[in-house]
Amino acid sequence: MRSVGISVGLGLAVSACATTGPVVRQNALPAPPAPSYGTVGLERVMGQNANAVTRLFGQPQLDLTEGAGRKLQFGSNICVLDAYLYAPVQGGVPVVRHVDARQRSGAPIDRASCVAALTRRDGGR
C-alpha cells in the first residue's frame, strides 16, 4: 500500500513538471516599448536643441561650452537645472542628452519635478 502511495505521489510530481511546448498566440499585440530609464517626465527637454530649451525656460543663467559639449543652466527659486547638449554622432545640431537638477540649497531634487517647476509661470524665471 505504501509503495502505491509513493508511486502515485511521484507520478503527480513528474506530471506537474511536464510542459506541452511553447505557447503561440495568434494576432498577439506587440509589447509596448519600455520607457527609457531615468527620463520619464523629461520628454519636454531630452532631445531638444538650445533654442527649444531656451523657449521653454527662458534665457539660461549660464551658457558654457567645453570641447564637444555645451551646458545650459536654468534656475528658479525652487531648483537649478543643468542641460547638457551634444551633437549627434553623424553631425548636426547639438541636443540635450543629459540633465542634472538640484534644489537651490544643493540638496537633491527629482529632475522631472524641476522641469515642471521651471516651466510653470510662477516657478520659472
Domain containing residue 85: CATH number:
3.30.1450
Domain residues for 99?
50-119
Residue 68: inside a domain, yes or no? Answer: yes
Rounded Cα–Cα distance for residues 95 and 47 (Å) = 5
Residue 14: inside a domain, yes or no? Answer: no
Residue 100: inside a domain, yes or no? Answer: yes
Number of structural domains the chain divides into: 1
Output the average pLDDT for the chain. 79
For the stretch 39-83, pLDDT in tens is: 788 999 999 999 999 999 999 999 999 888 999 999 999 999 999
Give the pTM. Answer: 0.66
Rounded Cα–Cα distance for residues 94 and 72 (Å) = 12
